[in-house]
Structure 1
Amino acid sequence: VVVVVGVVVVVVVVVVVVVVVVVVVIVVSIVLVGVKVVVIVILLVLPIVVCGQNALRYKVLALVVVVVLIAVVIVAVVVVIIIIVVVVSVVVVVAEVVVFAVVVVAVLEVVVA
């Protein structure tokens, strides 16, 4: 009984930790994407507002910056996905080990008893 309770507690804790980590990562990435989108919009709108002699040059610069930002966003999303996958797989392995250990202990208890 004690073993089962211990397993349940461990599993619950692990699940909670994973959920919290994933949620935090997702929220942070969404915020970052939002900030980048705002920056991109500003960069695209500014040349139109500024206009005049340097408008064309500025648009080229803005375009370069936008491309770089989009690349950064893509990289960030990939990194977040990798982090989530790694965390989940680590948790699964830990859970498997714990469950295996519990089963072994339970079997030993039964055999000894």
Structure 2
Amino acid sequence: KQRKAEKAAMDKKQLGATQGVKAESQKTLSATTTACEEKKLSFAEKQKLRAEEIDAIGKAIEILSSPEVVGNAEKYLSMAQARAGGTALVQMGDRQASNSEGIHRRIREFLASEAGGLHSQRL
């Protein structure tokens, strides 16, 4: 009889501990599920944004390579822009970093102009 009482007490203690672990596991599962859903939505939104950016770049390339635009530089550049000459100042340094910054600047300017043309706040 005493053994049964001891076993019942041990079982109740183990049940309480197991229920506590289960509750903590459910909290962790809930938090992880919420985080995964948020990341899934964020990923989908970013994928949509990237697709819009790719479309905008494709349209820009199409416009720039169209016959209406090709060869018009001489016609629309002012004499100051078209005339070569003057003093060129060279800054010595990390050429690759400088080129990278120039490319990034041109890309930012291009995307900003495309965003204005397409009325896109995301671009």
Match of 1:56 among 12, 25, 28: 12
Aligned positions of 1:1-113 closer than 5 A: 52-110=8-66, 111-113=68-70
Find the counterpart in structure 2 of residue 43 from structure 1. none
Relative CO higher for 1 or 2, CA cutoff 8 Å, sep ≥ 6? Answer: 1
**Structure with the higher fraction of residues in helix conformation:** 1
Q: Which runs of 5+ in 2 are unaligned?
A: 1-6, 71-123
Which is further off, 76-85 or 103-112? 103-112
Computing the radius of gyration from Cα coordinates, the structure with the larger value is 2
**2:64 and 2:9 mapped to 1: Cα distance?**
84
Q: Which runs of 5+ in 1 are unaligned?
A: 1-50
Taking every aligned residue pair, what percent have the same amino acid on both sides?
8
**1:70 and 1:53 mapped to 2: Cα distance?**
26
- Which residue identity does 2:28 align to in structure 1? V
Q: TM-score, normalised by structure 2?
A: 0.46
Q: Aligned-residue CA RMSD in angstroms?
A: 1.5
- Which residue identity does 2:50 align to in structure 1? V
**1:101 and 1:93 mapped to 2: Cα distance?**
12
- Which residue identity does 1:108 align to in structure 2? L
**1:90 and 1:106 mapped to 2: Cα distance?**
24
Deviation at 1:91, TM superposition (A): 1.1
